[in-house]
A and B are shown apart, each in its own frame.
Chain A
């Protein structure tokens, strides 16, 4: 508005359009609200009005939708409603979500405010800042038509009787119109600002920050992931090969050594080398299991189940490969859960089931242990939940005291053919 070209730009007209449509829409809203309230009030007496009241409570939603659309006249940036997405399809789920969330009631409040207070303000602004100056500008026209060429009333107050005065008043009206363009702009701006504040809380910037934060978390997880793989590779290609070579040399030396203290020492060294190799193998397996890369989640989970001391049944069916990040997160969830089952649950049997359906990878871990698992008690599950959430996944744990414990995890993802993936 501070720019010099404001008066001649489209903005005064957009402001006028915004306020004018606001006044009209407000009147309509008021009428609808009065009618609905009256009908509901009457029908409440015969009970059927009660469900109608519920519908009336949702009345703010279409009004808010209309208002957000109207905001486009004043703001280029779209105003988004912050309604939650119902957890499942269907009218019932939609209805409960809407009735529970804050935004619905906020919108209803706005609709009432709009019907009672806001539209008269809109109308007043339009009348004062647009119609009054326009009628002043129209003085010569009035004189020519209504006044019969002799007189015209400016704003129904002052009478003008000569043509030069009439034209002078019209010029004055034009100046007034230019001045009022600012009033109009200010009024519409304030009005739009209020609507945006009420119906589209200014979280846009925050949203952008959250998205950026989520991305940077995902990048961090990726970085950890590739670091794990690098360490696994380095250990495998370096230390492990050298230890095997050492063990081989010691094995050959033992063949040559005559029985005696030297042979005993060699045997001991050989045994140590063997133990070191076994430990290193375990370590590498924990850092990054190669089977996950080579054969995918199904095989890696089966192998993790093999290593668990509690018997584990596995019923996991994945026809194709999940994205690498999902495979990895899911695998480490399974490992952590199996470790917990082994250490804390006292379970005699566990079961892993899962698959891919409706665009989500599901995993369920069930054990018959004593339950009472608490993610907050540093069981390592909290960290995993973070990792899962980076991938927009969900992790849920139910573990009542006395058991059983059920851990569910799911990730939104699409499966790809293994061949496409390795290419």
Chain B
């Protein structure tokens, strides 16, 4: 059964210190037609492996040896300092937005994913998110998004509930079409909402994709 219909197979560098999960992820990605070119168990090896293999995407755990703190995340941020366009998907056990925010601040803010590890069980969603990130999209885990929705603070205060909903779906990496389907409205209506959001958040009139990322960042920092 084909899971990923997104086209070309991706070359993945995987960093995960648990052997159990590492092997599982290699199997899962292979199943979906992607190639894990290197699978490593610590942050330093991750940096080396990326330099050596120049992968299409990096998938990494947050907590890694040697300190078992947020070495994986920091390695990802460092990698993106060198190659701002390198797509990185971070798998985390933590819902906290601090981790997602640090990651989203790195590079140019595109090609970033922050997913809960639970999400790899939802194979299809996971692979879809992987493809989106590899294509330069931004994906924030729905659980993090849900938590943020509870907070209503500036500058999100000025958004209507519907606009906030749309912004949450943008953060999850959804396209205009997908958002329209989810909210059962027309594409044009979604476009209008997004226009309003971008205006209200005072985001500069530049490239459309980039503004969406900035909107997500504003959302995370609020």
Specify which of A245, A302, A311 is in contact with B98 (CB 8 Å cutoff).
Answer: A302
> What is the size, in residues, of chain B's interface with A at 8 Å between Cβ atoms?
36
Given known contacts A252-B31, A277-B118, A306 and B148 CB-to-CB distance under 8 angstroms = yes
Residues of B within 8 A of A250 (CB): 121
Query: Please, how many angstroms separate the alpha-carbon atoms of A254 and B123 in the complex?
Result: 9
Interface string of B116-145 (1 = CB under 8 A from A): 111011111000000000000000000000
The minimal Cβ–Cβ distance linking A291 to chain B, given in whole angstroms, is 4
> Which residues from 260 to 285 on chain A have a C-beta closer than 8 Å to any C-beta of chain B?
270, 273-274, 277-278, 281, 284-285
| Closest CB in chain A relative to B140 CB, distance in Å | 13
- B1-43 vs A, Cβ < 8 Å mask (1 yes, 0 no): 1010000000000000010110011011001000000000000
Say whether, besides A247-B120, A255-B3, A240 and B147 are in contact (CB < 8 Å): no
In the complex, what distance in Å separates the CA atom of A291 from the CA atom of B95? 10
CB-based contact B123/A241 at 8 Å: no
- Which B residue sits closest to A303, measured CB to CB? B96
Q: Which of A130-138, A179-187, A292-300 contacts B (4 or more CB under 8 A)?
A: A292-300
**Is A150's beta carbon under 8 Å from chain B?**
no
* Cross-chain contact A244 with B21 (CB below 8 angstroms): yes
Q: Do residues A308 and B98 form an inter-chain contact, with CB atoms below 8 A?
A: no
- Given A244-B121, A312-B151, check contact A303 B28 (CB 8 Å): no
B121 near A308: Cβ-Cβ < 8 Å = no
Interface string of B46-85 (1 = CB under 8 A from A): 0000000000000000010001111000000000000000
Q: How far is the CA of A300 from the CA of B100 in the complex (A)?
A: 14
Q: Which residues of A contact B120 (CB under 8 A)?
A: 244, 247-248, 251
| B97 cross-chain contacts in A, Cβ below 8 A | 302-303, 306
Task: State the majority secondary structure of interface residues on A.
Answer: helix
Q: What chain A residues lie within 8 Å of B152 (beta carbons)?
A: 311
Encode A214-248 as 1/0 by CB contact (under 8 A) with B.
Answer: 00000000000000000001001100111011011
Contact A273 B121, CB 8 Å, known A245-B20, A309-B150 = yes
Determine how close the nearest CB of chain A comes to the CB of B20; give it in whole angstroms.
5
CA distance in complex: A284, B176 (Å)? 36
Q: Does B153 contact A (CB under 8 A)?
A: yes
- Give per-residue flags for A298-322: 1 if the beta carbon is below 8 A from chain B beta carbons, else 0: 0110110111110111000000000
Nearest B residue (CB) for A310: B150
Point out the residue from A242, A256, A274 that lies within 8 Å of B1, measured CB to CB: A256
B105 → A minimal CB distance (Å): 13
Residue on A with the closest CB to B2?
A255
Docked complex Cα distance between A329 and B151 (Å) = 24
**Counting CB contacts under 8 A, is B93 at the interface?**
yes
- A-side interface residues toward B, CB under 8 Å? 233, 236-237, 240-242, 244-245, 247-252, 254-256, 270, 273-274, 277-278, 281, 284-285, 289-291, 293-295, 299-300, 302-303, 305-309, 311-313, 422
Q: Can you list 18 pairs linking A and B with CB atoms under 8 Å apart?
A: A236-B63, A242-B20, A247-B121, A251-B28, A251-B120, A270-B121, A274-B122, A278-B118, A281-B93, A281-B116, A290-B93, A291-B96, A291-B98, A291-B99, A294-B99, A295-B96, A300-B96, A422-B67
